[in-house]
Amino acid sequence: MGMLLGGCASPKQAGLNEGKRFGQTPDTFEAQRDLPPSTRTLYAMADILAAQGKDRDCEFTLKRCIQQEPKFTPAYNKLAELLMRQGRVHEAAGVLSEALRINDTDPILLNNLGMCCLVQRRYGEAVEHFTKAAGQIPESAKFRANLATALALLGRQEESAALLQQVLPEEQAKHNAEVLRKAHEKVISGPTSI
């Protein structure tokens, strides 16, 4: 009992067990203690910083993540989310475009870039990105619904309604189609935000 409790309380002991768990000898684990944090660690830290509202630190951490491992696309997504939250849509679109140069079929990146285009009222481009995202994961209701939104805002109401009917119950689909039709009317009538 004493040993059990002792084991849990001692951080050094816990650390050694951790090393063993990942197939490392205690010596290897000790040697790696002074290494800089891995990309995954930084990425997890960015999550914590974002939850704490420390946006500047979070942005710095994510940029470091990208610098350290440029092919780690989730970091681009998270950075774009942060920038979108701050209203820096243009920068967010830039970050996502950069990530798509690494993996141009990533559906999450495509969907998020589509959202940026939607906010920037570039509906044609939004349709392109949402279509590609839905093509990668055809069963995704989210991607099809986003495509429906972009199509409706382009005035392609029939196509939009058809897509909504694929992913929503009939009544909800009709209601959403009507909301989108009104939004389109607002878009073409003036520069007020939708």
**Binds other proteins by CB under 8 A, chosen from 64, 78, 129, 132:** 132
* Part of the chain binding other proteins (CB under 8 A), chosen from 47-55, 72-80, 140-148, 185-193: 140-148
171 binding other proteins? (CB under 8 A): no
174 touching other proteins, by CB under 8 A: no
Q: Is 145 in the site for other proteins (CB under 8 A)?
A: no
In the complex, the smallest distance separating the C-beta of residue 143 from other proteins, rounded to whole angstroms, is 9
The 10 Å Cβ neighbour count of residue 12 is 9
Give residue 162's identity as a one-letter amino acid code. A
**Residue 135 near other proteins by CB under 8 A:** yes
**Does 120 contact other proteins by CB under 8 A?**
no
Token couple for 73: 């696309």
| Shortest spacing between CB 14 and other proteins, in angstroms | 15
Q: Which listed range, 19-27, 76-84, 113-121, 161-169, lies at the site for other proteins (CB under 8 A)?
A: 161-169
* Tokens encoding 131: 């279509």
- Please name the residues in contact with 154: beta carbons below 8 A apart, sequence gap of 6 or more: 123, 124, 127, 184
Distances (CA, A) of 160 to 114, 147, 183: 16, 8, 13
Helical ranges in 52-156 per DSSP H:
55-68, 73-85, 89-102, 107-119, 123-136, 141-153
Binding residues (CB under 8 A) for other proteins: these are 1, 4, 124, 127-128, 131-132, 134-136, 138-141, 144, 147, 151, 156, 158-159, 162-163, 165-167
